[in-house]
Structure formats: C-alpha cells, structure tokens
Amino acid sequence: MNSEEDKPKNNNLLVLGIGVLGIAVVFSFISLFLYHKSGDIYLDRSRPGFLPEKSTTSETVKSYHFPSEGKFTKTDLEEYLRELDKVINELDNLERPFSPDSLSDQNLNIAD
C-alpha cells in the first residue's frame, strides 16, 4: 500500500530533476551564445595558450593619471607629455599590429 502511494512522489521527483537539468542546459547554452556573440571569448585570457606574455603587458605608466582639476602649469603639462610619450612609444614599438601581410598568400605559402 505504501509503495503505491510513493510512486507519484517518485515521479514528481524525477520530473523535478529533469526539469532542473533542462533549465540548466538551456541557460548554459544561452550564456555560451552570449559569451561568443559579444566577443568576450576572444578577450578571455584564461583560454589555454592565450595567456599574454609578461613582456606584452605594460607596467610603465600604470600609476600615472592626469588630475582633472587644478590650474594648468608648465610643469604639469611637461609631465603630461612625458607620460603620454611613453604610451605612444609603446604603440610605435609594436611591430605592425594586425598587419594584412600575415595572411597574405606569400606568407601562408599558397601563392602561385
């Protein structure tokens, strides 16, 4: 008698379990879709082989932040230009970022 009464309860538990799994799968797919669609996947440093080298992360001007208040002085402006030059030089030192040559037929060895 007891085992017959337990049957609907067991069924409910099964439906609940499958339902929860179903919802988890749907939400996982949605989040993976958004992760891919938003482009975040291409910025994710934790992917294997995608961790940046220490040399490619800049530390030189990390602490500098130009104050947005106060009078302009010659010293302030000179310091500003010095610090700005550091960032611009880093950009200049980067050898042709995203150069189209990397994907050229010659470079990929598929030219005639």
Partner 1 sequence: MKKLLIFFLFLALILPAFSAAATNSTSRAFSLSSHCHSVRNQLKSIQVLDSHTRIFLGSSYNKLSEHFITPFNLRLVYNNQPNSQLFNLQTEFVTNRQKFNQSFTEYSQDLESLLSTSCESEPNQFLIKLDQTKKSRENLSSLVTTLKNQAKKHRQLVEEILKKYE
CB of 51 to partner 1, least distance (A): 9
From 3, 42, 46, 106, residue interacting with partner 1 (rule: CB under 8 A):
42
Dist CA 44 CA 105 (whole Å): 29
Interaction pattern, residues 64-93, with partner 1; x per rule: CB under 8 A: xxxxxxxxxxx--xx-xx-xxx-xx-xxx-
97 scored as a contact of partner 1 (CB under 8 A) = yes
User: Nearer to partner 1 by C-beta: 1 or 110?
Assistant: 110
Within 8 A by CB and 6+ apart from 47, the residues are: 41
**Under 8 Å between Cβ of 83 and 64:** yes
